[in-house]
């Protein structure tokens, strides 16, 4: 396993914001030694049937940052989400900060640029973002050194972001009783996902893990924080030393039974553009619906 510059003595303050419409958890992560912070996996609200977007969830995070007198330095996307829309441009306009994602966003843009029949005006080079992270890249949030770990499998651009003793897993892992994310989207792969999960489980056992989604399996309350040690012991898909072959077999069978996420069509179009809603030639916000393509 690669060695990453992780300092477990750094203990950032983490504030979670749960969006019940998409079961997404977004985070404000504060450097313990300064007022600097990062926002991870923000949500833009959409009434898909009515074709209306709003910013209630993002405004809640913005109000928290302002009330706490924090300085937003980074807006991080763990991957190109297929189940909610990013509010990154809206937050950046209000609070500043740089927007970062994994460098394999270019693969996602190329794949879905074709599916959505995007023209040459849609740039597929990741230039919509301020930073494209490679495996092991570091960046600063105040005095805190953060590291991006490449964890493909759910999508080609997935990354886990480690900030001190806290790691933000995106969709690579769920809570122990939730297991793992699907691997059947274009560019996904169950074996690759298993390998990526092993990179996360190789982190220190007391590393705090923060999920991007939780669905309250078996009716329990929504939760979003666990540890590497608990995932290794109790994760229903990869815990207790489950093998790669077993995981691939299970994940492949399970994914074949899953419906597409309700918001996959608007989410991919918006999120591959770093949260910007596409426009038609007249400047009107407009989404496409590809038929028999996903």
For the chain, give the secondary structure using H, E and C: CCCCCCCCCCCCEEEEEEECCCCEEEEEEECCCCCEEEEECCCEEEECCCCEEECHHHHHHHHHHHHCCCEEEEEECCCCCCCCECCHHHHHHHHCCEEEEECCHHHHHHHHHHHCCCCCCCCCCCCCCCEEECCCCEEEECCEEEEEEECCCCCCCCEEEEECCEEECCCCECCCCCCECCCCCCCCCHHHHHHHHHHHHCCCCCCEEECCECCCHHHCCCCCEEEHHHHHHHCCCCCCCCCHHHHHHHHHHHHCCCCCCCCHHHHHHHHCCCCCCCECCCCCECCCCCCCCC
Per-residue pLDDT tens, the chain, 294 aa: give them.
Answer: 568 999 999 999 999 999 999 999 999 999 999 999 999 999 999 999 999 999 999 999 999 999 999 999 999 999 999 999 999 999 999 999 999 999 999 999 999 999 888 887 899 999 999 999 999 999 999 999 999 999 999 999 999 999 999 999 999 999 999 999 999 988 999 999 999 999 999 999 999 999 999 999 999 999 999 999 999 999 999 998 899 999 999 999 999 999 999 999 999 999 999 999 999 889 999 998 988 777
């Amino acid at each position: 396993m690669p060695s990453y510059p992780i300092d477990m003595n750094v203990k950032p303050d983490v504030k979670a914001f749960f969006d019940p419409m998409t079961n997404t958890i977004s985070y404000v992560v504060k450097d313990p030694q300064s007022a600097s912070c990062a926002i991870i996996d923000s949500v833009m609200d959409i009434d898909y049937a009515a074709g209306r977007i709003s910013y209630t969830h993002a405004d809640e995070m913005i109000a928290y940052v302002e009330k706490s007198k924090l300085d937003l330095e980074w807006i991080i996307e763990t991957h190109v989400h297929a189940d909610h829309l990013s509010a990154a441009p809206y937050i950046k306009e209000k609070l500043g900060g740089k927007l970062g994602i994994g460098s394999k966003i270019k693969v996602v843009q190329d794949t879905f640029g074709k599916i959505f029949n995007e023209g040459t005006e849609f740039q597929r080079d990741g230039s919509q973002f301020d930073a494209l992270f490679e495996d092991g890249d570091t960046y600063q949030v105040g005095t805190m050194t953060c590291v991006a770990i490449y964890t493909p499998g759910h999508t080609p651009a997935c990354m886990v972001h480690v900030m001190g003793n806290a790691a933000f897993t995106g969709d690579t892992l769920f809570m122990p009783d939730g297991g793992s994310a699907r691997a059947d989207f274009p560019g996904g792969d169950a074996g690759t996902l298993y390998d990526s999960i092993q990179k996360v489980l190789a982190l220190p056992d007391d590393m705090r893990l923060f999920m991007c989604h939780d669905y309250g399996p078996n009716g329990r309350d929504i939760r979003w924080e666990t540890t590497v040690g608990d995932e290794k012991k109790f994760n229903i898909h990869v815990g207790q030393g489950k093998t790669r072959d077993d995981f691939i077999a299970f994940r492949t069978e399970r994914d074949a039974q899953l419906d597409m996420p309700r918001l996959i069509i608007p989410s991919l179009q918006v999120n591959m553009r770093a949260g910007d809603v596409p426009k038609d030639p007249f400047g009107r916000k407009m989404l496409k619906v590809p038929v028999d393509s996903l």
